[in-house]
Amino acid sequence: MITLTLILLPLLAALVTFAVGGENAKRIAFVGALANLAVLLLAWSQFSIDNNAPLVQFPFSADWLPIANIKFALGMDGISLLLVLLTNLLVPVIILSTFHHNYKNPAAFYSLILTMQTGLVGVFTAQDAFIFYFFWEVALIPIYFIAAVWGGERRIQVTLKFFIYTVFGSLFMLLALLYLYFRTEGVHSSALNDIYSLKGVLSPTEQTYIFWALFLAFAIKMPVFPFHSWQPDTYTESPTPATMLLSGIMLKMGIYGAIRWLIPIVPTALDYWKFTVIILSIIGILYGSIIALRQKDIKRLLAYSSFAHVGLMAAGVFTGNFEGVQGAVIQMLAHGINVVGLFLIIEAIDSRIGVRDLEHLGGITQKAPFLTVLFAILLLGSVALPLTNGFIGEFMLLLGVFKYNNWFGVVAGITIILGAAYMLRMFQGTMFGTQSNYTKNMTDLNTTEKLALLPLVVMVFWIGLYPATFTKVIEPSVQQIITILK
């Protein structure tokens, strides 16, 4: 019942938040998010990594559409647990960071955030193909409305583009899942293990069609080059809480989908097409990094930085080796923490001085030393400094890509140099130098902002110094996926 509770609790909190409304909406939403984090920590404490323990723990199953043999099946293995941890850690941080803002219609705003949390947890815990698809769509709807209602001047145009992209990808996913469902023998089933059993049944041609149908849906969500054009505008025009939800958690849906619902199902097609996909991913790394170097808007710069980081994660996943897949899972956790923290820093600057352009920034460290220190820590995690959270995943990802192809590993490794270049450029242009007319009135972080950022800073060092806390949890599940691919 723990898994079901993790889905229903934020939904219940969303209903209460919407019913009460007013200024209490943010407080109720925050308490609901904290309660879900407490349930998750209970699950973490009870999760067994013993060799005799089942891979999927805390299962729940109930008939959903008995006539079609579709069950509402949930459960968590190590990979799921890590991503549910990320979700339930970041949502209360994101809600807390909004306490000094007054959003119009707060009841709807915070209810949508909690509803999205329900969808995200459902995606990461679904053990049935159609339940996975259902929660995939549940997670999409709230973020669309958050961006469209509370976004910037171009919000309607930008969110419509985002919506068209994602719905287009979802259609192909649904077609692939339906095909897989009808290819199961006897009484048709959409259970994850029954879908996995099809790998020896599907012909190479069938696997190719399914590969590209599912890849398109997941590549748009990540996004992977050339399916990325919705991302920079959406990140920039959305309100910062929506940007943090998109970058910190939602893009992980695509990477998770590729790990759980793509590569183990069509291993033959993966062997044939992985070269193409990794090429696209590496192009995305270089393209995103080069564009980030040219950006003046620091929020947009961070959007392209996220795009580049996702390219490396995608490359690691599609190598199909242990190091690449495990590195991608750890990096999803690290990237989510770092990017949300950095967007929080950018929002703190923008809310005080009203500009994000590097030409109008500078000298902030003289006015905001606490902000400067936290900014530096999160930035160093983002550029994968050893002993920070970004180093573990990035090292494993590069090792995985290098094991697949030496030259790909060398080119992908350039991301370290380029990442350091554009991130340090942002930090120097923002924090150091001469104060501008805008930054001379800058103030340091308030108590709420400090409370929101400190847990993220703790995680930067925890993952960097004690990575085994997390790698041991996911190793059995990653090894199962690699075994299926052989």
Q: Omega of the bond prior to 223 within 30 degrees of 0, cis?
A: yes
Which pLDDT value is given to residue 113? 93
- Across 49-58, 61-70, 118-127, 144-153, the highest mean pLDDT is recorded for 118-127
Which pLDDT value is given to residue 240? 86
Which pLDDT value is given to residue 296? 86
Which pLDDT value is given to residue 329? 94
Yes or no: say if 326 and 474 are a contact pair by the CB < 8 Å rule.
yes
Decide: residue 415, CB within 10 A, 0-12 exposed, 13-18 middle, 19+ buried. Answer: buried
pLDDT for 132 beyond 90: yes
Pick from 30-44, 152-166, 281-295, 369-383: least confident: 152-166
Band of residue 473 on the pLDDT scale cut at 50, 70, 90? very high
- Across 106-120, 173-187, 436-450, the highest mean pLDDT is recorded for 106-120
Yes or no: say if 128 and 73 are a contact pair by the CB < 8 Å rule.
yes
pLDDT for 325 beyond 90: yes
pLDDT for 44 beyond 80: yes
pLDDT for 368 beyond 90: no
User: Angle at Cα 138 formed by Cα 134 and Cα 140, nearest 5°?
Assistant: 120
Pick from 74-88, 315-329, 426-440, 461-475: least confident: 426-440
Which pLDDT value is given to residue 213? 93
Which pLDDT value is given to residue 180? 93
Over the range 108-128, which residues count as b (16 or more CB within 10 Å of their CB) and which as e?
bbbbbbbbbbbbbbbbbbbbb
Closest CA relative to residue 111, chosen from 244, 243, 245, 12:
12
Rounded to 10 deg, the angle between the 389-404 and 406-431 helix axes is: 150
Yes or no: say if 93 and 347 are a contact pair by the CB < 8 Å rule.
no
Give residue-wise pLDDT tens across range 53-92.
778 899 999 988 888 888 999 999 999 999 999 999 999 9
Give residue-wise pLDDT tens across range 201-226.
888 999 999 999 999 999 988 888 88
Q: What is the mean pLDDT of residues 297-315?
A: 87
Which pLDDT value is given to residue 208? 93
Q: How many residues does the chain have?
A: 486
Band of residue 328 on the pLDDT scale cut at 50, 70, 90? very high
Give the number of C-alpha atoms closer than 13 A to the C-alpha of residue 296, restricted to the C-beta side. 6
Q: Which regions of 281-321 does DSSP assign to beta strands (E)? A: none
Is the CA virtual torsion 476, 477, 482, 486 positive or negative?
positive
Average pLDDT, rounded, for the chain: 88
pTM for the full predicted model: 0.92
Rounded Cα–Cα distance for residues 85 and 159 (Å): 28
Which pLDDT value is given to residue 440? 81
Percent of the chain at pLDDT above 70? 99
pLDDT for 445 beyond 90: no
DSSP string, 22-58: GGGHHHHHHHHHHHHHHHHHHHHHH----TTS-SSEE
The residues, any chain, with a CB within 8 Å of residue 205's CB and separated by 6 or more, are none
Band of residue 255 on the pLDDT scale cut at 50, 70, 90? very high
